[in-house]
Structure 1
Amino acid sequence: MKRLRSGYTTGACAAAAAKGAALTALTGEPVSRIAIPFPDGRNIDFDLAGCRPVDGTWRSAVCSVIKDAGDDPDVTNGAEIVAEVVIVEANAGDAGAIIITGGPGIGMVTKPGLALPIGSHAINPVPRAMIRKAVEEAFAASGQKIGKYSVQVEISIPNGEVLARHTLNKRLGIIGGLSILGTTGVVVPISSEAWTATITASMDVAREMRVREIVLSTGRTSEKAMEERCRLPEEAHVMMGDYLEFSLLEASAHHFARIHLGGMWAKILKAAMAIPQTHVRHGALDAESAVSFLENLTGRKTNLDYLHGSNTAREILDRLQRHGADAVIRRACLAARDYCQSVSGLPVSVYLVLATGRIIETV
């Protein structure tokens, strides 16, 4: 089997471009290659497509990175991610501030339920943190002290508004361009053969190590939460990604005694709705369908009118929590458990994990 090549997220590319622009602005010397820190502690090198001072002054520069998504089928592969950095003398209230905004080709958030407030540019929290860290490193490398200045970073993507038409952004309420995304900086190629082979191999190892209970997680955040909660051997933990039904059937075929399944709300809700493959490219979760499902699940004894108009699964959960509807959340988790048990034929425990890594429901 061909080994698929990983790539880098738009967030990582934006951070690299921002560091290159900041260093060029500070030193007056264009940069052709730069290293930036990733959330996992690694430093990764990026080739810069072009760095130049703006208007002939050292206080401003623009730099870009051509996104390489590896072997992932990504609409942004090959897109130019541009950062313009402007450094000004700080006022008393903004000394050391790094202000990140979006320019042409970056969408604006217009609906609730996302990780960003309405009215902000669609540059997600982890990319914002990576950009800030990269700019701070540029100051350190140049010998300048950031506390004397205020730094403005504008991220843009030429043709981003056109590219965004091929994404789910408009449906999610991100209008006018693309999102700057990423949680790890790395785009892992999505290959069903690679994923399922890894799941099977992981379970093979677990059985060889005499593991009796298997832990299935949808992502790194839920896996970390499950590691802390279950306290089972390392070999018991299997990153199933979005291959829910396959993983359940494999767990059954490997004759484990119990399944512990940890995931965030959107994945748990899809499981409750008996959707066997939970990745968005196999069908985005329709919020209204999910609300109808929850109404039917509760037998309409509970008034859930306040859920109508929700934009995302995350917003559904936010509204449920604001209304103190813990019983509805629990019913959804129980439905997910029932589905998993019906597919696998094994006892299943379901753990609902928040983005913070906190487990808020166990059934």
Structure 2
Amino acid sequence: MARKPEGELKKGWTTGACACAAATAAYEALLSGAFPDPVSITLPKGQTPAFDLLSSRIDGVVGHAAVIKDAGDDPDVTHGATIRAAVRLLDEGEGLVFKAGPGVGMVTKPGLPIEPGEPAINPGPRKMIRDNMDVVAARHGMDLNAEVTIAIDKGEEIAQKTWNPRLGIVGGLSVLGTTGVVIPFSCSAWIHSIHRGIDVARATGLTHVAGSTGKVSEETVQKTFNLPDEALLDMGDFAGGLLKYLRKHPLPRLTISGGFAKLLKMAQGHLDLHSSRSQVDFEKLAALVEKLGGSDDQVAMAREANTAKQVLDGCPDLPLAEIIGRQARETALATLAGQTRVDILVIDRKGTILAHVGAPDGESADD
């Protein structure tokens, strides 16, 4: 995760808001002959941002407009992307139809807010576009009957940096954004992706998913259990986002795979594992070292340590990884309230499994 900069952070606009602005401008031009530039739209909470048009033209019966996405100070992979809309008028009674242009994905798996076979334009942006185009139509004394095609330059390439391929969204990005506003470093997009991953896993009948704190732990858990990509939930630091959603939308089995330091925080009761929001309690860790029979020097080292790895490396004769795995599992089970079976993989930075706790009978980390 990118480091949060100092000072007040600038908010930005979602892909959905940008698509809405482009579509609204193109529709206005088809009805009036002139593109509003900048084009103002109304967001669900009443804000009225204005967007400069990167390009605009009427090509026969189709209006085209494009805007550049500004995500503010959020490290959004779509910041700076060109969002395009092409609007074509339809006959009376046909309503509003959405199409995916180049760079916008198509949904292929169940479990998402959009049905398979539909363009990956989420319900929030669809409503936003409809509401703003309805205003334009009413101003011209018309009902809204139009086809809107949204495209994103290099969207298929950018989508490889997102969860879309794993969620079964092929060919490009999703058009997202319930409020239209990007809150910098709110983490909502990451947690949203975790939730959609669980939804897809449930809808496709998976019985075993894995939440991992990072790339190495994800590779290890996938190899250990031969899990398909769609079973892998990029939990990152958001253990709470994963566990709380699973409590309401349970699956039969969850494996949590992570490094010793991250799982130590979870063992100590934290559900947000980011360094800026939770810290290892070294006094508690030293007490555990003492309880496990550590020497006076090991206890003192643990108390004064700078990192969890330092303590782990300094106590090779103690079952620290095993005990931390058990305690992390207890935290997970308490949060899940008995809805899902849980096992824990504690790994080192090279992907070596240090402990496997809570495995089903007859299964080991080597199976």
Q: Given the two structures, how large is their TM-score scaled by the length of structure 1?
A: 0.54
- 2:117 maps to amino acid: G
Which residue of 2 is the match for residue 82 of structure 1? 84
Q: Is the 8 A contact 1:113 1:313 kept in 2?
A: no
- The equivalent position to 2:155 in structure 1, one of 156, 160, 170, is 160
Q: Which residue, 89, 111, 114 being the options, matches 1:113?
A: 111
SS at match of 2:128: helix
1:3/1:161 Cα in 2 relative to 1: closer, same or farther (>3 Å)?
Answer: same
| 2:354 matched residue in structure 1 | none
Paired position in structure 1 for 2:230: 311
2:159 is aligned with what amino acid? A
Mark the CA change 1:309 to 1:75 in structure 2 (over 3 Å): closer, same or farther: closer
**Residue identity opposite 1:16 in structure 2:** A
8 Å CA contact 2:103, 2:173 repeated in 1: yes
For residue 62 of structure 1, what is the amino acid of its counterpart?
H
Shift of 1:102: 0.8
Are residues 114 and 312 of structure 1, via their aligned partners in 2, closer, same or farther at CA, if it must alter by over 3 Å? farther
TM superposition shift of 1:74:
2.1
Q: Residues 81, 312 of structure 1: CA spacing in aligned structure 2 closer, same or farther, 3 A cutoff?
A: farther
Partner-residue secondary structure (3-state), 1:37:
coil
Q: Contact 2:111–2:196 at 8 Å: present in 1 too?
A: no
Q: Could you say if the C-alpha distance between residues 312 and 29 of structure 1 is closer, same or farther in structure 2, counting changes exceeding 3 Å?
A: farther
Task: Considering Cα pairs closer than 8 Å and 6+ residues apart, tell me whether 1 or 2 has the greater RCO.
Answer: 1
Q: Provide, for residues 251-296 of structure 1, a one-character-per-residue CA deviation record: whole Å limited to 9, x for no partner.
A: xxxxxxxxxxxx96979x9xx9786x7xxxx569969959x99xxx
Per the alignment, residue 304 of structure 1 pairs with: none
- Indicate the SS of the match to 1:26: helix
Q: Secondary structure at the match of 2:118?
A: coil
State how far apart, in whole Å, the 2-side matches of 1:130 and 1:285 are: 39
CA distance in 2, matches of 1:168, 1:310: 10
Aligned ranges 1:171-186 → 2 under 5 Å: 171-186=166-181
Contact 2:211 2:232 in 1 (8 A): no
Matches within 5 A, 1:42-191: 42-55=47-60, 59-91=61-93, 94=94, 97-140=95-138, 142-146=139-143, 150-190=145-185
Greater Rg, structure 1 or structure 2?
Answer: 2
> Is this contact kept in 2: 1:113–1:310, CA < 8 A?
no
Q: Which runs of 5+ in 1 are unaligned?
A: 196-217, 221-240, 243-262, 294-307, 315-324, 333-338, 353-359
Paired position in structure 1 for 2:17: 12
The Cα shift of 1:326 comes to 9.2
Q: Secondary structure at the match of 1:126?
A: helix
- Any idea what SS the aligned residue of 1:16 has? helix
TM-score (norm 2): 0.54
* C-alpha distance in 2 between matches for 1:113 and 1:180: 17
Runs of at least 4 residues of structure 1 off by over 4 A? Answer: 263-267, 272-275, 282-290, 325-332, 339-342, 347-352
Q: Deviations over 1:145-200 (max 9, x none)?
A: 21xx521111111222222233332222222112111122112222xxxx7xxxxx
Would the aligned equivalents of 2:167 and 2:197 in 1 still touch at CA under 8 Å?
Answer: no
1:106-163 deviation per Cα after TM superposition (whole angstroms, max 9, x unaligned): 11122333222222211111111111112112213x32221xx521111111222222
Matches within 5 A, 1:26-37: 26-37=31-42
Q: Secondary structure at the match of 2:146?
A: strand
Per-residue Cα deviation, 1:13-55 (whole angstroms, up to 9, x for no partner): 0011111111111101122112212222322222222222222
- Give 3-state SS (helix, strand or coil) of 2:90's partner: strand
Question: 1:217-243 deviations in whole A, cap 9, x for unaligned?
Answer: x869xxxxxxxxxxxxxxxxxxxx97x
Q: Note closer, same or farther for the CA distance 1:350–1:135 as it changes in structure 2 (3 Å cut).
A: same
Residue 73 (structure 1) shift? 1.9
